[in-house]
Amino acid sequence: MRFVIVGGGIAGTTAAEELRRRDPDASITLVSEEIHPLYSRVLLPHYLKGKVPRERVFLKKPEWYAEQRIEWLPGISVRNLDVTNRFVSLSDGREREYDRLLIASGGEPRVLPEDRRGVCYLQTLDDADHILQLIHEGVSGRAVVYGSGFIACEFAELFSHYGILFDVACRGDRFWPKALDEGSWEIIRTKLEVEGVEVRTGVEEFPLGGENLVGVGIGLEGNFGWAREAGVDVNQGVKTDEFLQTNVPGVFAAGDVAEFMDLAVGRQRLVGNWMNAQMQGRAVAANMAGENKPLRLVSSYSTNALGIQVTFVGDASREKSDEVRVIGDAREGVIQLFGRGGKLVGATLVGRVKERQAVTDLLKAGGRISDFLRT
Amino acid sequence: MPKLKIKVDPDLCIGAASCVTIDAATFQLNAENKAEVYDHGNAPGGPAYEREIEVTEAEKENILLAAQSCPTLAIFIFDEAGKQLFPEP
């Protein structure tokens, strides 16, 4: 069996490792746009704050790939996919035939129209190195965080850690506008303001002014144009069923790029976090090897916004839910519970965490919002 | 049955909870959103970031998997002789 995996991040690498474990004789090719062996993007903030040395962010050594007999092609991307003859053409001119193909190419940060020294993103290790260099060179004046999600929070934490004064510019009217209600946002906004951060909202365009450090976190763009051109069904991501299989036989998708049928919440959606990418990497390998096991995972993620814990469980979308219950207030923290068709499908917890496990367990069990309110 | 020493570094833990998803009998989040170590769902002597527990081979594999799943490598696993099994030193 010939497996080709596009994407050397946690989803793709986990799938490669799992495929090797299952099939000692398979041919496995891992095409990776980045030149580094697998590292933890989640460790980048720790590296930036000096909590771990740079070498600790790596999860695989360069020699691991050869030891596993995985053909690792770093610094290479896919140019073209031919689903009829089952091969991919690569940026270095080579071609690889496959029996099963995995699209785990993740996403790339949306960028500002203008690129300039001092504008930074936080997606890759190279981005992190760039940020450190800028910080060590010294920052004059106030920095800006442009964005309203996890990456914006990381920039805020980072600037605060280094004592860099900064302001925040959000594209929408708050952080995570699709998920958070006014009360949850109030907790975060108040904390930012107490720390001396000016928060501007509704900043659709961000024209660069005199800032010499701008941390940009305005989302990811899926990296799958070549798959779309080959006839793979895409929307915001590459669409898959609960087996992570696309509409094209033999072609699968996993990780940040996959708009998968999430059985835990009952709809097709994109989930961009580490746990999801890793679990999907493992699950998709089983299915590529022929197991046909649906993935059922209550995905969750948590971050810290200048000391305020922010946690998302399941499908935390106000727009996609038909019932929302809010518990708590600014003093004790706010929980939002999202329901659809009578079932609990997601939650946000801001400024409190102790109910996280109970919410996760209830969601996993297919419970209702009213079941949670009774506990 | 093998014994393992399991240790969570609360300074590295960010509450991603992948360990809890993989092995809820050994890892649970506390009120600070940090993973604590449990002995088959129990916490004799109170909550702790470090614990020595007796496990079956299958449980050991799952605990190692949970440690490997941690995106900040905040979980450290040692065998009875004190040898660090994960992360590879």
The neighbouring-strand residues paired with A360 are none
CB < 8 Å to A46, chain B? 12, 72
Query: For residues A109, A112, A118 and A122, what is the CA-based torsion angle, rounded to 10 degrees?
Result: -10
Q: Does B14 touch chain A (CB under 8 A)?
A: yes
pLDDT band at A146 (very low <50, low <70, confident <90, very high): very high
Domains of chain A, CATH where assigned: 2-42+55-108+220-288 (3.50.50.60), 111-217 (3.50.50.60), 307-373 (3.30.390.30)
Question: Looking at CA atoms only, how far is residue B22 from chain A in angstroms?
Answer: 9
Q: Does B65 touch chain A (CB under 8 A)?
A: no
pTM of the predicted structure, to 2 decimals:
0.94
Q: CB–CB of A327/A359 below 8 Å? A: no
Cα A307 to its chain centre, rounded Å, is 21
Residue A141, token pair as written in the block: 């004046």
The dihedral sign for the CA sequence A118, A121, A127, A132: positive
ipTM of the complex in this document: 0.87
Q: Which of A356, A119, A92 is nearest to B28 (CA)?
A: A356
Q: Does B11 touch chain A (CB under 8 A)?
A: yes
Q: Tally helices (H) and strands (E) across chain B.
A: 2, 6
Hey, how many other C-beta atoms are within 10 angstroms of the C-beta on A323? 16
Q: How far apart are CA A238 and CA A205, in angstroms?
A: 28
Q: How far apart are CA A154 and CA A215, in angstroms?
A: 9
Average of per-residue pLDDT across A198-222: 89
Domains of chain B, CATH where assigned: 3-86 (3.30.70.20)
Q: Which of B17, B33, B71 sits opposite A40 (nearest CB)?
A: B71
Q: Which of A51, A297, A353 sits opposite B33 (nearest CB)?
A: A353
Q: What percentage of chain A has pLDDT greater than the value 70?
A: 100
Average of per-residue pLDDT across A173-198: 96
Q: Which of B20, B31, B73 sits opposite A353 (nearest CB)?
A: B31
Q: How far apart are CA B26 and CA A196, in angstroms?
A: 41
pLDDT tens track for A66-110: 999 999 999 999 999 999 999 999 999 999 999 999 999 999 999
Q: Which of A51, A279, A302 sits opposite B15 (nearest CB)?
A: A302
Residues in A 245-284 with any Cβ partner in B closer than 8 A: 273-275, 278-279
- Residue linked to tokens 């496995």: A28
Cα A141 to its chain centre, rounded Å, is 31
Q: How far apart are CA B1 and CA A86, in angstroms?
A: 48
pLDDT tens track for B54-72: 999 999 999 999 999 999 9
Give yes or no for residue A206 having a pLDDT over 90.
no
pLDDT at A11: 98
Q: CB–CB of A266/A341 below 8 Å? A: yes
Contact A42 B18 (CB under 8 A): no
Nearest CA in chain B to A38: B71
Contact B15 A52 (CB under 8 A): no
Name the packing angle between helices A10-22 and A274-288 (round to 10°).
Answer: 30
